[in-house]
Structure 1
Amino acid sequence: MSCPAGVDPKLWRSLRNGAGRAIGDFGLIKDGDRICVGISGGKDSLLLLMLLVEMQRRAPINYQLVPVTIDAGFPGFNTTTIQNFVADLGLELSIEQTGHASLITTKLRPGSSYCSFCARLKRGALYGAARRLGCNLLALGHHRDDFIETLLLNQFFIGTLKAMAAKTVCDTGDITVIRPLVYLAEEDIITTVRQAGITTVSCNCPVADADQQRQRMKQLLHRLEQEIPQIKNSLLAALGNVQPRHLLDRQLSKEGTV
């Protein structure tokens, strides 16, 4: 596909180039890969699929795309809109039905994040779908802001210095998770999806907007950005510029890393 109708061509090229740069920098996709693309129906996953389709047609390598949506069982979740979107890109959507909606309400530990628990369950379902569909990669739509917010959440509330990786192998070693949107700003994704007139779909979870800690990180970053315009890019760059000698991890010292 070329630049979607209504979208600023310069912005579209910027997004495509950013995703392509991430794929090159981190070696995310190689010839012959079969990629399970997690499609929630939100702006990030829909844009991810659009970009992967375009790059698939331009790339000097061959790879396959297998879009998958997890239906957790929340009443009113609209898979038809997602199916139509995927079909317009020339692909077929695989829908995995799970009972996560009822499981979450019975198994969630007091004080735990509803959204985080649900995300872990969905991730497990996506791993299962990827295996069943013969995929070796699982592509997720996390963007630059997600990486930064996760970094701050872990520092502020857990006391660990970590975020997400652009490429990571699952515990069983058979599926590699890739995040091609790592360099893309959330505001650019929002603008592109709006310009393209894309209909997004909510998971219809009754507490979908209740991740208060992440919202606090968003608000904090927004305030800081008024004074330090480059703060988000600087924080993302910091994730790729780690200097262990200047940290306090004693395990690294024991291993002779520092």
Structure 2
Amino acid sequence: MEFIDNIRYKKIKNAVGRAVADFGLIRDGDRIAVAVSGGKDSYTLLHILEGLRRRAPVKYELVAVTIDSGYPGFRSDVIASYLREQGFAHHLETTDHYDIIREKRRPGSSYCSICARLKRGVLYTLAQKLGCNKLALGHHLDDFVETLLLNQFFVGTLKAMAPRMLADNGETTVIRPLVYVEEREIIPFARENRFPVVCCSCPVCGTADLQRRRMKKLLTELEKENPAVKRSLLRALGNVQPRYLLDRELQRLCDVP
């Protein structure tokens, strides 16, 4: 695919390339399942990984994977058609998640949390079924810092996301190559290249995850005074000083006799 804004494409690709090198995200012989939801982030991730693959000194394969959760109106056909036109290998998995959520969700609880757990389980299973040792997710820099703040403000943990981690099944390695890419770079890139963005069609789409939206608003306000605040928070995740934290287990490890 020829991209409209080649400068922005190169900027995003370079950022992903740095992440791959810094965290050892891709190795020779990897077969990577790329979760493609139909959103701007996952389309961008897939295209960037393909661009890197063509010039990479190591050989790896990509398989796009889409989960249809059964929400009425979800246009999985649009995603499949686009990926087919672009020449990507693609697997569509249809599930009954919507029915399960309606049956199991407690009144007043979040759609997003139970939906995410169900999708995650299916993605791990599909990665193994398709012979993929890695699963690439489209979380970007903003997702990392927002998750850090959410956990601090509402959960009481000092935790965000990992650019690379072994999944709960003990088999699949989850990678997040967009860790250095800000959402503000992805939005115009996706729009200019006319990615066929598809809404998940969740019944609470647009109204869910109010706490995350509050974090976005907070970061926007902070950026007015410090334009580099998000990157500073990201750097903090890689510059941990256990000696100055309150975790008692870490304190024991840092204690000097």
**TM-score band (shorter)?**
over 0.9
C-alpha separation in 2, matches of 1:155 and 1:26 = 24
Structure 1 residue 212 displacement after superposition: 0.5
1:1-258 to 2 correspondences below 5 Å: 1=1, 3-4=2-3, 6=4, 8-110=5-107, 112-209=109-206, 210-256=208-254
**Structure 1 gaps, min length 5:** none
Identity across matched positions, percent = 57
Is the partner of 1:163 in helix, strand or coil? coil
Unaligned runs of 5+ in 2: none
Q: In 2, are the aligned partners of 1:83 and 1:92 still within 8 Å (CA)? A: no
- 1: distance between equivalents of 2:220 and 2:12? 21
Matched to 1:165, the amino acid is A
The aligned amino acid for 2:170 is G
Tell me if the contact between 1:50 and 1:89 (Cα under 8 Å) persists in the aligned partners. no
Letter matched to residue 152 of structure 1: L
State whether residues 244 and 257 of structure 1, in contact with CA within 8 Å, keep that contact through their aligned partners in structure 2.
no
Q: 1:80: Cα distance to partner? A: 1.4
| Displacement after TM superposition at 1:257 (Å) | 7.6
1:76 positional shift:
1.0
Shift of 1:171: 2.3
C-alpha RMSD of matched pairs (Å): 1.4
Residue pair 1:169, 1:177 contacting (<8 A) in 2 also:
yes
Q: Could you give the per-residue CA deviations for residues 169-204 of structure 1, whole angstroms, max 9, x where no partner exists?
A: 012321000000000000100010111122201110
Secondary structure of the residue aligned to 2:8 is helix
d(CA) in 2 for partners of 1:146, 1:155: 14
In 2, the alpha carbon distance for the partners of 1:43 and 1:108 equals: 28
In 1, distance between residues paired with 2:97 and 2:33? 20
The one-letter code of the counterpart of 2:233 is L
Could you state the TM-score of these two structures normalised by the residue count of structure 1?
0.95
**4+ residue segments displaced more than 2 Å:** 108-113, 253-258
Pick which of 17-26 and 80-89 moved more: 80-89
Structure-2 separation of matches of 1:171 and 1:51: 27
Cα distance change on mapping 1:250 and 1:111 into 2, 3 Å? farther
Tell me the alpha carbon deviations over residues 107-137 of structure 1, each in whole angstroms, 9 at most, x when there is no partner: 2235543212211111111001101111100
- State the secondary structure of the residue aligned to 2:138: coil
Which stretch of the first structure deviates more once superposed, 165-174 or 27-36?
A: 165-174
Inter-partner Cα distance in structure 2 for 1:89 and 1:234: 37
Q: For the residues of structure 2 that align with 1:160 and 1:101, how far apart are their CA atoms? A: 30
